[in-house]
Amino acid sequence: MLADNIFLKIINKQIPAKIAYEDDACLAFHDVNQQAPVHVLIIPKQIIRTHDEVGTGDKELMGHLHLVAVRLAKELGLGDGYRLVINCKEDGGQSVPHLHMHLLGGRPLAWPPG
């Protein structure tokens, strides 16, 4: 699963993406396989492969990713609500080996997920 990291190529601008937000610590871009009217991926620039690699030294970074999600949700018109998802490894459905937060919204989202 963790063989290839296409998101590093997006961070390094080696492949294109529709960027929604960028700063020194993170990048947010629209998912190519959109699952809702708004589907943005928020990723750290630092390499963290999966959510279970997050450590105590990453507290500020993780908080920052959430603040970026709040900012984007406002900018992208998600005032009625949204969902944040982090898939972790095989059972979580993670397909790209670089930590990423999905920001989904723009329609009512069903629960539970599949």
Active site residue 64: no
* Least distance CB 42 / ligand AMP (angstroms): 11
Contact track, ligand AMP, 18-57, x by CB under 6 A: -----------x-xxx-------x----------------
Contact track, ligand AMP, 65-94, x by CB under 6 A: ----------------------x-----xx
Q: Which of 24, 18, 5 is nearest to 96 (CA)?
A: 5
Q: How far apart are CA 66 and CA 18, in angstroms?
A: 20
CA distances from 14 to 26, 28, 37, 94, 104 (A): 16, 16, 26, 22, 26
- If one asks whether residue 96 binds ligand AMP (CB under 6 A), the answer comes out as yes
